[in-house]
Every structure is written in C-alpha cells, then in structure tokens.
Amino acid sequence: MVRNKVHCEQKEVNMKQEKQTIDSSMSLSKQRKLQRQKEIAHQKRQKKINKILGIVVVVAIIAGVGSYVGYKIYRNATKIVASDDYSKYIADNGFIDGVTATEAIDLCDYTGITVPLSDVEYTDESVESDIQSQLEQHKTLDKKTTTAIADGDKVNIDFVGTVDGVEFEGGNSKGEGSDLTIGSGTFIDDFEQQLIGHKAGDAVTVNVTFPDDYSNDPTLAGKDAVFQVTINGLYVKPEFTDAFVKEYLSDYASTVEEYKTYLKDTNYNTNLDKWLSDYLVKETTVKSYPKKYLSQLAATMKNSDYNYYESMKSYFAAMSPDYANKSFTEYIGMSEVDYDKQLRSAAKETAKANLIYQAILEKEGVTVTVDDYKEYMLGKGATEEDYNNQIKQYGTGYSVQQMVKVKALEILKGMVTVQ
C-alpha cells in the first residue's frame, strides 16, 4: 500500500513536471505570436498616425497659403488708392452728391450759442507779439551801432582760425561776412559767448577747443584753436511806424493803428470760426457716413500726402542724398496699413464737419455757387490766376464746398452771443 502510494505520488509529480514543460513550451510560442501581433498592430497604428499627421501638415500648409492669399485679397480690397479727383461725389453747389445732410446727422441746436469772449478775443499782448515778429523779420545790419552784443543778438562777423599758428581749411570767412545768432550753438562751444559785450568794429581774439568727437573734420578733433574775429555789425530792429506799415504791410493797412485793428479783427474771426467748428463737431452725432464720398475723401488725402512727400523729397535730396532714398513709409514713419487706418479716421472727421456745414445751409435754405467762391477768393487777395488754378486742380465741387463752410459759419456768427 505504501509502495503504491509512493508510486502514485511519483507519477503525479512526473505528470506535473510534464505539464509545466508543455505549458512552458506553449507559453513561449504564444508569447512570440502575441509579440508579432503587437508589432503588426503598432505598425498599423503608426501608419494611421503618419497619415493623419500628413493630412494635418497639408491642411496647415493650405491654411497658411489661404491666409496669405486671403490677406492679400483683404489688403487689396481695403488699401486706400490715392486719387486726384477731389470733386468726385461732390456737386457743383458744394453739397455731397445724393446726400441730405440733415438726414445723415443729428445736428445740434446751433441757434443762441453763447461764446466766452476770453476764448476768442485777440489780446493786446498777442498784437504786440505779432508786431515784434514782423520787426524781427525786417532787421537790418547796422555797422555803426554802439550797442554791445548780448545773448540772442544776430551779428555779422569775419574770422580767420588757426591751430598751432597754421590756418586750417574752412576756418576763414574770406571777408564774405557770416551771420551768427549769439546762443544758437552754430559755432564751437564758447565761441559765441566770447563775443558778448563787444561792439561793431571790434577785433576779438577767440580761443576755443574742438570737441574730441568733432566729425566735420576729425583732424581738428580735440585741438586748441585761435580765431581772429572782426565784428562787422549787429542786426537791429526797425521802429514800428506808419512808414514801416506802408512799406511792408500795405496789403493790410496804411497806419500803425489800422494794422493793430486788422490783427485784432482777423484773429478774432479766426478764433471764433474755430470755436464754433469745434462746438458743432462735439455736439453733433453722425448717423451714417456716405460711404463712397468717405472713401474718396481718404483717397484724395493720400494723394495730397504723396504729392507733399515727392516735393519734399526733391527739395531735400539736393542737400541730403540719403533723403532721396527714403520710401513713403519711412517718410510717414509707419506702415501703410497703419497709415491707411489713420487716413480713414481723418476722413471721418472731415466728412462729419462737411456734413454739418451742409446741414446748416439745408436748414437755412441757402446755397452757394462757384461765383460766390471766386468772389470770396478775390476778396482775400487771390488773383484771377489763383482762382483758375484752384478750379483746375481741385474741381468745382471741392472748391465750392470750401464756400459752404464759410457761409455756414457766417450764418452762425450772426446768431451767437460773445460775452
């Protein structure tokens, strides 16, 4: 019994070992099969991922190209193209074509406006400042004056400069005389100050040191120099007399008192016009802008800026070759996109003002003509040729629109109270 039991136990052990061997063998085969299945599944997933990534990249490229093309289409549609047709969308009576201004805006009540006198009057101090400006413009060189040179005076001098006793290039005025305003910083530091207190006819020795970074002539940088200066004379103001007015200001007056009255009246009216214009714009709301007129307004503004840029380019190119190479965007100091945005904003401001003036004339039942504009121009001192050139360049509509503003403000000034 014991032997049978042992035999049975041994048999059971042998069967377990055999089963483990078979299981082990089957497990290894199975593992290899499963591993292969995993590899195949991984490869399939990777192909799908690569395919998806490829589609994403293609879509991104298409989107990028689409965005670029879309931007180009958008920019071409929104870019302001300069136009010299200033009278387009403006009728010959100066009104915006097809637009009733009183319907396009909520016009403020312009009757019974009170204007503070202090905001528009031209004071005696302002008059005196204007007169002094006139006298400054007509200074003459006085070679006999005994007045001592002071800071701010304009003088005429001749000079010979030397370094270590040797005359240097550009340091000799050659007796041609050179105008100099004391304190302007035109000459080397301390040169101008050493002339203060001297008089016409004086010979002055001026000692200076060229700056270390003197770029006009690096060979002189940091060196001491001596200038022998002759003061030819001082520029002095004339007296403001009736004779001065008749000689230089006869288009405006013939006496001192007449000119002062002219200054007061003219500047008062200018100040009042501006005050009223600002008030109207501030108190009025635009309901709808005339789109075609607004776009054309921006286009003509751009044309005017282009023309000014070209004229300034030609003017400065002779003095500075670098200026001739400046692009329009360099000149305006911004991108054309930003510039166009500013133009649209400016065009809206101008359009709003023009709608206001037109609305006032509509409400008052007043119209103006090109003949009114011509009379206005000639009354301001323009010539027949000036008028013809104006019409030729800007057209009738645009020119008469200026008269719409004049007439509207004229109407308002007849209603306001200034106190």
Task: Write down the domain spans for the chain.
Answer: 101-107+284-418, 139-236
Q: Which pLDDT does position 38 carry in this prediction?
A: 55
Cα(110)–Cα(113) distance, integer angstroms: 6
Q: Which pLDDT does position 310 carry in this prediction?
A: 86
For 161-215, what is each residue's pLDDT tens digit?
A: 999 999 999 999 999 999 999 999 999 989 999 999 999 999 999 999 999 999 8
Q: What are the residues whose beta carbons fall under 8 Å from the beta carbon of 418, sequence distance 6 or more?
A: 114, 115, 116, 117, 120, 272
Locate tokens 């970074």: which residue?
213
User: If DSSP codes are grouped into helix, strand and coil, which group holds residue 179?
Assistant: strand
Q: Which pLDDT does position 365 carry in this prediction?
A: 98
Angstrom distances, CA of residue 301 to CA of 292, 333, 342, 416: 14, 17, 11, 33
Give the number of other Cβ atoms within 10 Å of residue 260's Cβ: 19
Amino acid identity of residue 159, one-letter, is F
For 263-304, what is each residue's pLDDT tens digit?
A: 999 999 999 999 999 999 999 999 999 999 999 999 999 999
* Sign of CA pseudo-dihedral 296, 298, 303, 304: positive
Closest listed residue to residue 349, CA positions, set 267, 281, 275, 287: 281
Closest listed residue to residue 188, CA positions, set 204, 169, 166, 212: 212
Question: Which fold would CATH assign to domain 139-236?
Answer: Chitinase A; domain 3 (3.10.50)
Q: Which pLDDT does position 384 carry in this prediction?
A: 96
Q: Is 202 exposed, middle or buried (0-12, 13-18, 19+ CB in 10 A)?
A: middle
Locate tokens 């401001």: which residue?
349
Q: Which pLDDT does position 267 carry in this prediction?
A: 97
Q: Could you say which residues of the chain have pLDDT below 70?
A: 1-78, 318-321, 323
- The DSSP letter of residue 342 is H
